[in-house]
Structure formats: structure tokens, C-alpha cells
Amino acid sequence: MKPLAFWILALLATSALAFYPEKPIVLVVPFPAGGPVDAMGRSLARVMESKLGTTLVVENKAGAGGLIGVAAVANAQADGYTLGMAGTGAMVYAPFITKKMPFDPINGLSLLTTLVRTPNVLVVSSNSPFKSIGDLLAQAKSHPGEITFASPGVASSAHVVGELFQKLTGLKLVHVPYKGSGPALQDLMGGHVDLMIGEVSGLVSPIKMGSIRGLALSDSQRLNSLKDVPSATDVGLPAWVADGAYGLVAPAGLPPALVKRLVDVANEALASPEVISKFAELTSLPQPGSPAQYKSLLQTEQARWSSVIKSAGITDE
């Protein structure tokens, strides 16, 4: 027989859930307003709030590759009124790059569920002489240290994925960091750098407009919305699978009853036509899951990327 204290705590938790939510819930998006992650977060929030019966207020807390926003969630009260989207950069790469992590990705948060994944894509200017990965490899191997690749900044996700690309191909590229993906993309289109790697959700529009050319997706299969862009498998790099994965998090210590409620609502939202349509528009794939699945994904990805980061000597200092 379970002790009386157990039943008292269970009753309190059930009672608290019966009145939840009593006020608006904040969803922290750790990137600027107007970007693809923000669009995905707002779409998710609209559907979740209709199922929860309260308003979900999206707050953009950008900076440090997503660390600032996720840290704000980690430091909030564990009452179910502060949630956040957390990306691969903050949850997987940062622990091996940042000397002073503001939170523990595995144990310092309530990991609720995976939300979405978006492959990375290697792109060049529409005026580039490189029409294929084969063209790029041939030129880079005959002129080592001359081909430049842009990223939104040192230690950014694109930087890390670019290092894996170099490791798998044996190329020596020159990394050119920018202060954000916007300036990097502008210089790519202007011919000031040779190539760029980034999440396809942020590059799909200029690819479709013909401003840039996609040479390869960091995914095992092609995307229906970008059928002309070959997959990593198509170009002979099956190990170059590197998605931008986002999950739903809350402060550590969230009561189990609230965890279950929020996970159920998030997964229902991910299955809704509105969210599926918006994610597809951004060339991203809904990824419903559970706390256990999200934790397992983070642990697997951390184990995989730690060696890439360490061998490349990537640091934020």
C-alpha cells in the first residue's frame, strides 16, 4: 500500500491540473521575430492555445545561438506557464563549445517532446560555377584552402555542420563567420563567398526564387518541395545527415501531470492541418514524441557531435 503522503501529493497535483491554465502561457522562441523558427512557434501556439483554453503569448528572446531564450525558460518557475522551443545549437552543440553553459540541457529542463526537424542545405549563388557537389569537390581539392563557406557565426549550427562536411569530404574550406544568416546570405548572393550552409527552412524561398542554388541536403532523402536538390545519399555522403531539431521544454521540476497534459496538447497540435501546412511551407517536418524520446535524441546527438566539435577545435572564445 502506498503511503498517505503519496496520495496527498497525487490529489494536490490533480486538483492543480483541474484549474490549469488560469492565465496566459508564455512560449519563448529563442530566435528573432519574423524568422522560420518564429513562424513555426506561432503556428504551434495558435493551435495549442485553442486546445488549452488560454492564450499562448510568444516571446522572442534571441541571442547566443538560442542560449539566451532557453536559459530564460530554465530559470523560470516550474508552474506550466513558461514553455520554450529549444534547438540543436543550444541543446546539442553548445555544451561542447561554450565554456560557461547557463543551463544543463539534459537535467536542467523538463524535456517535453520533439517538435520539428528541418534539414540543412548547402547552397551557392545562382551565378556560381558550381552546378553540383562534384564541381565543388573537384575545385576544392585542386585548390585547397581557397573555397570559402559562410555561416551565421563562429560556433553556430551551420559552422558545426560545415565542419562535418569537410571531415567527410576531406576538403579544406575557409570559414567566414557573419553576424547572422541574413548578412551571410547577402554576401553569398553578391559573390563575396563561395558557399553557405544553413537550415533549409530559412533558405527555401531564395532557392525557389532562383537567387541561390541548392547543391545538397543534409538528409537521407529528397524533400518533395525541393525535388531538384539532391540528398546527402544522392551525392555519396550518406553520413552527412544533420538536421536542425527543435523540441518543447519547460523549467525543470514540472509536475508529471502538467508534463503529460502539455505533451498531449503539443502532439495533438503537431497533427493538426494548420501546423502540418505551416511546417510544410517552411520545408520542415513535424516530429511528435515523448519526454523519453526527446531525451534519447539529445543524448544520441551529443555523443555524435562532440567528436566533430572537438576535432575541429570549435569554441566560442
Would 261 be classed as within a structural domain?
yes
Give the alpha-carbon dihedral of 186, 191, 193, 199, to 10 degrees: 50
Which of 316, 317, 1 is closest to 159 using CA atoms? 316
Q: What is the mean pLDDT of the chain?
A: 91
pLDDT for 302 beyond 70 = yes
Q: Do residues 265 and 283 both lie within one domain?
A: yes
Q: Do residues 112 and 124 both lie within one domain?
A: no
Domain that holds residue 99: 22-117+244-312
Q: Tell me what pLDDT residue 224 has.
A: 86
Q: Do residues 113 and 180 both lie within one domain?
A: no
pLDDT for 263 beyond 70 = yes
Is residue 20 exposed (0-12), middle (13-18) or buried (19+ Cβ within 10 Å)?
buried
Grid cell at residue 306? 562532440
Residue type, 180: G
Q: Do residues 100 and 172 both lie within one domain?
A: no
Confidence category of residue 214, pLDDT binned at 50, 70, 90: very high
| 207-218 average pLDDT score | 96
Would 7 be classed as within a structural domain?
no
Q: Tell me what pLDDT residue 8 has.
A: 52
Q: Tell me what pLDDT residue 14 has.
A: 54
Which of 71, 81, 75, 85 is closest to 32 using CA atoms? 85
The CA distances from residue 281 to 186, 203, 207, 294, in Å, are: 22, 12, 13, 24
Q: Do residues 299 and 262 both lie within one domain?
A: yes
Residue type, 34: G
pLDDT for 154 beyond 90 = no
Would 96 be classed as within a structural domain?
yes
Q: Which of 182, 217, 252 is the last residue of a domain?
A: 217
- Between residues 47 and 223, the one the model is more confident about: 47
Q: Do residues 86 and 127 both lie within one domain?
A: no
Q: Tell me what pLDDT residue 152 has.
A: 84
Q: Do residues 272 and 123 both lie within one domain?
A: no
Q: Tell me what pLDDT residue 209 has.
A: 94
Chain mean position to CA 122: 16
CATH of the domain at 111: 3.40.190.150
CATH of the domain at 145: 3.40.190.10
Would 169 be classed as within a structural domain?
yes
Q: What is the 3-state secondary structure (H, E, C) of the chain?
A: CCCHHHHHHHHHHHHHHHCCCCCCEEEEECCCCCCHHHHHHHHHHHHHHHHHCCCEEEEECCCHHHHHHHHHHHCCCCCCCEEEEECHHHHHHHHHCCCCCCCCCCCCEEEEEEEEEEEEEEEEECCCCCCCHHHHHHHHHHCCCCCEEEECCCCCHHHHHHHHHHHHHCCCCEEEECCCHHHHHHHHHCCCCCEEEEEHHHHHHHHHHCCEEEEEECCCCCECCECCCCECCCCCCCCCCCEEEEEEEEECCCCHHHHHHHHHHHHHHHCCHHHHHHHHHCCCEECCCCHHHHHHHHHHHHHHHHHHHHHHCCCCC
Would 225 be classed as within a structural domain?
no
Would 5 be classed as within a structural domain?
no
Would 224 be classed as within a structural domain?
no
Q: Tell me what pLDDT residue 7 has.
A: 44
Q: Do residues 108 and 26 both lie within one domain?
A: yes
Report the predicted TM-score, pTM, of the whole model to 2 decimal places: 0.88
Q: Do residues 252 and 112 both lie within one domain?
A: yes
Q: Tell me what pLDDT residue 277 has.
A: 94
Is residue 62 exposed (0-12), middle (13-18) or buried (19+ Cβ within 10 Å)?
middle
- Between residues 182 and 215, the one the model is more confident about: 215
Q: Tell me what pLDDT residue 4 has.
A: 56
Report yes or no: 246 and 69 within 8 Å, Cβ to Cβ: no
Q: Tell me what pLDDT residue 153 has.
A: 82
Q: Do residues 199 and 268 both lie within one domain?
A: no
Count of domains observed in the chain: 2
Q: Which of 7-21, 89-103, 236-250, 286-300 has the lowest mean pLDDT?
A: 7-21
Confidence category of residue 178, pLDDT binned at 50, 70, 90: confident
Would 189 be classed as within a structural domain?
yes
Q: Do residues 90 and 162 both lie within one domain?
A: no
In tens, the pLDDT along 111-148 reads 999 999 989 999 999 999 999 999 999 999 999 999 99
In tens, the pLDDT along 91-117 reads 999 999 998 999 999 999 999 999 999
